[in-house]
A = this chain, B = another copy of it.
Amino acid sequence: MTIQTVGILSPGDMGGAIASVLNQNGLRTVSALGDRSERTKQLAIAAKVENVGTLEKLVIESDIILSVLVPSAATQIAKQVAVAIQKVGKNILYVDANAISPERVKAIQPIIEEAGGEFVDASIIGPPPRQPNSTRIYASGEKAELFAKLRDYGLDIRVIGSEIGQASGLKMCYAALTKGLTAISTELLIAAHRLNLDAELWQEISTSQKELLEYLNRQIPTMLPKAHRWVGEMEEIADTFGAVGLTERTFEGAADVYRFVKETSLGKETPEGRDTSRTLADIIAILSQDNISSST
């Protein structure tokens, strides 16, 4: 397989940044933006992703299709692409890079393969790859080495095994650490604010948990515009942990926290549009007051 064109579903914050890397390294990137949001279309233009219109056209034009969406959309888009693959009759490589549970990616595999495509499980750890060495893409499955050819075009792809589910499982465990910590921290800081104990808690944490406070100062502000995407990701983590005999409630709770945040004024900003001058204390005060009755 010679790779010339990569189809991106969809070129949002993460997908767009990946497309930019591929473009800068000489590949053509395409997408099917028929009914996508104006913001996604703008990000695609910025990332120099060509809009070919329909999924059928995308299958015809692409050598690889990369699915990078909100977790809740992963299965549905795979079904739509499967229909296109069947119509076009092309043995295309489909890479699911969504933050979904191993069980769910294993259920997507036959949808693509029965339509005549080839399937790879992938997961992305790190921010959108705008800085070198910031972002790792893990891959697993029999065909993972085919996808790993994109290493030649600027992506840091690491094949970790031949089974579908491994790359997704790794992402779930990793995201549980970083996004789980961010979720419980956001919750407890809001609780302290509502209990009128902010000053005392900040004082205590800034001496005895200095490293964690620095972590929160970095993570919580950038989480806000992404909270709406993380709801589904926390639910996928809950499913992943439930499937190996562990409690689902921790990450159902984390999903509740991000559901809370996405309903606030801060949760409705975009990553590009957010006010970066706010302190963590400002943010917690706004979250505490914005959303008085949305707990589940």
Contact = CB atoms under 8 A, between A and B. Distances in A.
A147 interface: no
A256 B260 contact: no
A215 B138 CA distance: 25
Interface centre among A136, A181, A188, A241, by most chain B C-beta atoms within 10 angstroms, is A188
Nearest to A240: B191
Contact of A184 (B125, B176, B197, B293): B176
Interface string A236-254: 0000111011111111111
A270 interface: no
A181 to B, nearest CB: 5
Nearest to A244: B194
Interface residues of A, number: 61
Contacts of A47: none
Contacts of A205: 174, 177
Interface in A145-203: 160, 165-166, 169-170, 172-174, 176-178, 180-181, 183-185, 187-192, 194-195, 197, 200-201
A170 B197 contact: yes
B176 A188 contact: yes
A277 interface: no
B174 A138 contact: no
Interface centre among A197, A240, A260, by most chain B C-beta atoms within 10 angstroms, is A197
A128 B171 CA distance: 37
A261 to B, nearest CB: 11
A204 B165 CA distance: 17
A294 to B, nearest CB: 8
A269 interface: no
Contact of A246 (B102, B160, B241, B260): B260
Contact of A201 (B170, B194, B215, B253): B170
Given A173-B201, A245-B293, 12 more contacts: A165-B195, A166-B197, A176-B191, A177-B188, A178-B209, A180-B188, A181-B181, A194-B244, A246-B295, A247-B295, A247-B296, A249-B249
Nearest to A185: B177
B247 A256 contact: yes
A250 B247 contact: no
B200 A138 contact: yes
Interface string A106-131: 00000000000000000001100000
